[in-house]
Structure 1
């Protein structure tokens, strides 16, 4: 039963409301009757009501002020205000503070009953939604941590800070890091064991990681299809202590899985001192995993060990690499070759390690392949060529040979992009022609509609279609309509008006004018079999 509170300084009004409403039929019960706003608020503090029916004009504490206080006590309370005055400013103020509804005296009890019924329905829906919200709490926490490792610092703070208190997440620690557990043979295991059995192995790994991570002040695991990501928080005296604890934990986990079907590679991210910079640790953990292609004997990768420095100071990707992709798109072979020369000179001057140069080039090639795949361009042959070359890096005797090979790969990427783009343009134009043939009967068919169907801008489609098909969109529409008109004129007894409507013309006069412009004769003459030069 929902609890009802009636508040009015007029006893007769209170009695009228109490006696003229069938409370039981509404699933409600009058639990409070108060004759002033102050008493109503005190009662709300002791036993909150679900619905308050209150007069606005009351001494000391008026109905609107009382409503504001009541809503602060129970944000979900539904307040129905009653007033003898038709005052729009009352209604506006009431709605602004969150009052459910506002009605005027004299009271229509049937109308009030409907308002109460509506308030009850809303309460039921809100209670149901609140249960759903409580049930979704674990999913919300998972979403919080997933966003934490993917949003950048300021964006993460703005997006997530308001949820920390609601989710009871106390993440005020001195250091934070992310550890990525990658299942290298995930694809093979799914095929061999089936997805269900593979997922059970992942759940077992999840339990193992949780058990070993208890030594940290806080830990949270994010599960993916091909591995898990561990977020660790720790209050330690220094970074070295955190690193030692992380390495010891990870080593123990990997050792315990030495005979498991799961082939694990682990990337350990940078230690960061700000919660909202956790994404940097996440990025560096994934970057660390890229070393597995060069050190197959290892399965735990920490970029601090590999390079003797913090990877965040030496990112694998920068704006200059975006410039190379731009040159590939433009097929500017001369500028592309110069970029590779400058890039190679920069790498050779900065780094003495041959392995690190190979890693940087591999990262660059990965970015190019990712770009091609995002454009739905099949680059499997390029990927195979890169993999084959990296399997025999010792075949390069000089750095010039290696960078010459890089230039060759970029040239092939240009050619693949150009070929794929031409195919895409041809397919797009054919799709547009098919759409015109299927929709020319629609008199409102225009460039804007066709561009919306093709999911490109009207200006881009107009220029591309004219370049590829040597005819404009509007002329293609007219051509389709005239061809259809010719068939109707030859093979049917339809009137010119009927043919014009079937062919998408707004009226018969415009149809005749357009037909003569295209065919050199009128529709009637065409039907009679006359030729243009005989008229």
Structure 2
């Protein structure tokens, strides 16, 4: 039901219209009235009516002045002006500011019915358009969009100024308007020893959908599909609410993930509150280091500094310094380059207190890491000598405690990059199969990212990320483009009605089809057909 507000200085007319017209019968709730524009303005600002009916000549502030202010502040409000004067100049000025109707007193009940029915029809049409826009946004909202991932990477790398952060976030429709933030990393690494893209899992698909639905409903969270198996969630709040918002998020994630405890792996870490955009880079490092504890404890879930401290304390009094190579291989199989420093820091924490100060241990550490990397590269069917830098093996003999970490970081970065190349080659083949499937089934109104992912046996989130990265377009955008292309051909080469064409290109709702078509080509299907036929 829509709302209506009446401004009329003659009390008899005002009370008469309020009491005698069946507002609710015509879809309107009568939310208030006033005797002049000055008294009406604060009430209108408060009630925000869908329709304003106002007399044109009133003391203090007349209907024209009031209408101008309302059109500026509430541009979607429909305005109907009434007057006892048949004055064309008033009508002209009213029309010029966007008033919907201009009526003369006395107003008959039938005429008011006609005008209100017209106002309701216009509001219905606007709402339908808004609903279609929301539907389109919902369908197009893929957190793996290339632009969003690039923005997040720039944010956590500190590559943008404050003004650039605001500008780019506004372009992407991301509201970064809080005084405090927290960064939460949520990872679903399968912790396998197979260098392939994550396969389709109905449990993971179901969980992802549930998580995204929850996050989309909460304006205090902004989510990005950051890496292959990792989501980054920015929590927004102020000094008083940031902790509770973070707790609510973690509890919701934990509750949903525990349902699929036997089918998936999940790991979470947060950075802690920050108040400046420039602190996101440090926040990401902190969250990454905490999250990298999952390679030391693959059965854990939520990691904090306490886990890092536990790793350190468990070995503080040990007299031996050994490296668990299984942990290293697990890391190389599943990690991202951004996690290298955090993982190595935690790995070093497992050594004796003074181990890294020893030249002998530094050489042992470097050689052990070198052997792990070589073994892993061979698993990828790559020659370690060719894959690594030419002097890597020889450099180990001269390594010092001050340089050993930099050397190992380089080796790890090469190994992870090579793994991504191998996985990428396989994934591009799956992407091609996915595109072919869309090309052949776009007319199916039930076609979805999840269905296509299942068909090519790849996780939906990874497929969506591949679509964005390789094609610079999202899955929904690609599918929509195929549908619109075929619809355009049918409009030009057949006499089928728009409703029939909508069904044949995958749309159950012909009105929504027309909305998407006009959004794509700037013309309605009817206008496009007429123009194409030279009409």
TM-score, normalised via structure 2 length: 0.38
TM-score, normalised via structure 1 length: 0.38
Structure number with the higher helix fraction is: 1
Instruction: Work out which of the two has the higher radius of gyration on C-alpha atoms and give 1 or 2.
Output: 1
